[in-house]
Amino acid sequence: MKQMPLTWIVEPTDEGRSLKELLYSRLLLSHSLVVKLKQQHKIAVNGIPVFTNYRLRDGDLISVDLDLGERSEILPEAVPLKIVYEDEDVLVVDKPAGMPVHPSNKRYQTGTLANAVTYYWLQSGHNALFRPINRLDKDTSGLVLIGKNQFAHQSIFRQQQKHRVERCYYALVEGAAMPDQGRIAEPIARLEDRSRKRIIAPYGQPAVTNYVVLERYLQHTMLQLHPETGRTHQIRVHLSFAGHPVCGDELYGRSSPLIARQALHAGEITFNHPRTGAAITLAAALPDDMRVALITLQQQGD
């Protein structure tokens, strides 16, 4: 998909201001991005490249070419993608369980979402860095939001920092004695420097997870969860701390005959589009393995 320039028509209230001021205050570009744009002469007024000290006039058309000619070093790999949404700025993919988001020097170089997206973009004539805004654990399925350029990534990442990106997860957990709804607010810290595992600790980072019970079984509960923060393994750690680990989560609970991974799915996400400001809500249905687990529980009368 072709990279469209970012545009803005100068209003009377901005006349006489410097172009640099408008780039920061109106288009909300970061200092690092403006520096890159200046170096590549990507900023134009009325179709003519200009310096950022240019003084604005009413009706000027500001145009910013966001294509910085970036070259990804990630190995492209022809892995199927389930694309939920895509435009010139944003790509949203329904990631399957078992797929890491990003290559790791120690563990994964291929088979990741980054490999798959890089290949897909190259096939469509788009060469850019892989910039995921939210990350999911390898064995958590669901929606991953990706910025297709630095502007989009920074814009939505700022929303996320201000808790304006709403995320909804679904989890099948052990036990059925949970209140109908609740809020888990416990700080999370890394167990040790080289460990993947996280723990609840007073010196950890603040973390808050809200949940609502959707369905109860004899020994399990289906939850809808809305995390207010985005700490590593947050939902899994909080639910384990509450005495209801995610079904099949071997790191914070135990394996399960119902499912071969943690039964956790990122099912919905809402954000404001970086270019238009319009609210976008996207959803991904429960994957087959979680649906089969629920059917099994229903059939067993659990």
What are the pLDDT digits (tens) for 236-250?
999 999 999 999 999
Beta bridge partners of 268: 168, 283
- In this structure, what are the phi and psi dihedrals at residue 215, rounded to the nearest 5 degrees? -155, 140
Predicted TM-score (pTM) of the model is 0.91
Arithmetic mean of pLDDT, 132-136? 93
What pLDDT is stored for residue 2 in this prediction? 63
**CB under 8 Å to 206, separation ≥6 — which residues?**
185, 187, 229
Closest CA to 156 of 30, 302, 255, 9: 30
Arithmetic mean of pLDDT, 73-94? 95
Does position 104 have pLDDT exceeding 80, yes or no?
A: no
- In this structure, what are the phi and psi dihedrals at residue 143, rounded to the nearest 5 degrees? -75, 130
Q: What digits encode the pLDDT tens for the residues 39-75?
A: 999 999 999 999 999 999 999 999 999 988 888 889 9
Strands (E), 110-207: 131-132, 141-147, 166-174, 181-185, 188-190, 198-200
Beta bridge partners of 144: 93
3-state secondary structure of 207: coil
Q: What average pLDDT does the structure give for the chain?
A: 94
- The per-residue DSSP string of 245-285 comes to PBTT-TTTS--BTTBSS--EEEEEEEEE-TTT--EEEEE-P
Asked if residues 164 and 264 have their Cβ atoms less than 8 Å apart, the reply is: no
**Structure-model confidence comparison of residues 279 and 110, the more confident one:** 279
As given in the structure block, the two tokens for residue 137 are 């654990």
CATH number for the segment(s) 6-64 = 3.10.290.10
Residue 24's pLDDT band (cuts 50, 70, 90): very high
List the domain boundaries for the chain: 6-64, 83-300
H helical segments located in the chain: 19-25, 31-39, 113-123, 150-161, 234-241, 288-300
The catalytic site residues sit at 137
CATH number for the segment(s) 83-300 = 3.30.2350.10
Beta bridge partners of 270: 166, 281
**CB under 8 Å to 35, separation ≥6 — which residues?**
none
Q: What digits encode the pLDDT tens for the residues 178-212?
A: 999 999 999 999 988 767 899 999 999 999 999 99
Closest CA to 61 of 49, 47, 50: 47
Distance CA 60, CA 53 (A): 14
